[in-house]
A and B are shown apart, each in its own frame.
Chain A
Amino acid sequence: MPTETKDESAEPASKVELPDSVAGSGEIPSFDITLRVRRYLPEFYDEAYWDDFQVTMYGTDRVLDALHKVKWEMDGSVSFRRSCAHGVCGSDAMRINGHNRLACKVLLKDLNTSKPITVEPIKGLPVEKDLIVDMEPFFQSYREIMPFLMNESAPPSKERLQSAEERERFDDTTKCILCAACTSSCPVFWTDGQYFGPAAIVNAHRFIFDSRDDAGDMRLEVLNDKEGVWRCRTTFNCTDACPRGIQVTKAISEVKQAILSRKV
């Protein structure tokens, strides 16, 4: 058992144990960074402002580790969401150096550490505090496309069978973790929040092209709305933002094609 003595300076926030056979093991490079966090504390100030934090981080650290270090050791009032911290739960989507990313998937060493690293809340949703936004409008769009299997036929005794090819058709869009990085990167969504947004369309795509689902027409009708797929300007911001690598813009265009082929 290690002793209780804490040597903070030697311990990186995330540490990888490498065997001695790997060159450079035990020599995790460290560097000083400035983390520039967009603060919003409605109890104290009406306006949002930037707060700079100087922290020493390591080559294995992510932006989330820097935020942890700030919150745990420097300013406990810094607020952000995170849950699993491993790119699966989708809680910590934020604007890092102007790009929507998951803080737990961006390594500090991949950013320009000579300049301050800016961290802001995702855009287009109401900010509640610091990096925390109200996700309700986002989930409202998600609910509207009915993200659940609808099949009126009697359930078979075992499972609803599907071929590998049928599954492949919508495989990409099953990866969504609802982090809102795509929707809040979309300039059309920023305007008035009326647009359904990429995430809702991706999750509609997941059921529209599922051979087991019977309600594709209903979902296409929902997305044929004036705030639906036709507001997409194919700027590809969503595809760039998706931490799961979903071809979001491609999925949106496939939904457009599906509406067209049923209507025209």
Chain B
Amino acid sequence: MAQTIQPPRSSDNIKDGVKYNRNSGSNSNFEMFGWLFMRMSGIVLVVLIFVHLYVNLMVGNGIQAVDFGFVAGKWADPFWQVWDLAMLWLAMLHGSNGVRTIINDYAEKDSTRFWLKVILFAASAVIIVLGTLVIFTFNPCPPNATADLLPSFCSA
């Protein structure tokens, strides 16, 4: 008897321990937005990072000017706070999503995949929260500090 063609997703197709049929389609656009986000954030990050590098390393005294006072001065300015915040969030989400896809591509066991992602998401969350906290709660003029290490506006 001729074998009839099975309708898609009608049964588990397992060969040598590998399950070939896909999990039933959840109508989620997550992967699509993930893909779109990678392209958008990539373009924005190129601008953010190269301006960041130029301002920190090329303008004025260049790399010699970078010290506590220089960073404190930048983070006293809301413009650079927002700039660095955008850079932190976009870089972390872009990087984490990239590593997530690499885990999806290379982890062969579901349990390995799950735990690698747990570690990845936990690490990303900690860095994003900690970084955001630092940018907004940073005190450019800590008390009892030597005056010549601080930005100029602290003495005023």
Contacts and interface: CB of A to CB of B under 8 A. Distances in A.
B15 A134 contact: yes
A136 B105 CA distance: 22
Contacts of B20: 136-137, 140, 193-194
Contacts of A215: none
Given A144-B8, A260-B32, A225 B22 contact: yes
B9 to A, nearest CB: 7
A264 interface: yes
B18 A224 contact: no
B153 interface: no
Contacts of A264: 36
B96 interface: no
A192 B112 CA distance: 13
A187 B22 CA distance: 17
A137 B5 CA distance: 13
B35 A256 contact: yes
A140 B105 contact: no
Interface string A230-264: 11010000000000000000000000100110011
Contacts of B107: 191
Interface residues of B, number: 30
Contacts of A217: none
Counting contact residues on chain A (CB < 8 A from B), the size range is 20 to 34
Given A144-B8, A260-B36, A264-B36, A226 B18 contact: no
B31 A230 contact: yes
A233 B8 contact: no
Contacts of A263: 29, 32
A172 interface: no
A228 B28 CA distance: 12
Contacts of A233: 101, 105
B104 interface: yes
Given A134-B15, A264-B36, A227 B29 contact: no
B15 A227 contact: no
Contacts of B16: 126
Given A192-B108, A263-B32, A126 B18 contact: yes
Contacts of B29: 224, 263
A188 B105 contact: yes
Contact of B18 (A143, A192, A222, A260): A192
B19, B22, B27, B35 pick with most chain A CB within 10 angstroms: B22
Q: Which 3 A-B pairs have the closest CB atoms?
A: A137-B20, A230-B31, A144-B8
5 contacts: A126-B18, A224-B29, A227-B22, A231-B31, A233-B101
Given A192-B19, A194-B19, 18 more contacts: A136-B15, A136-B20, A137-B15, A140-B8, A140-B13, A143-B8, A144-B9, A187-B105, A188-B105, A191-B106, A191-B108, A192-B108, A224-B31, A230-B31, A231-B31, A231-B105, A233-B101, A263-B29
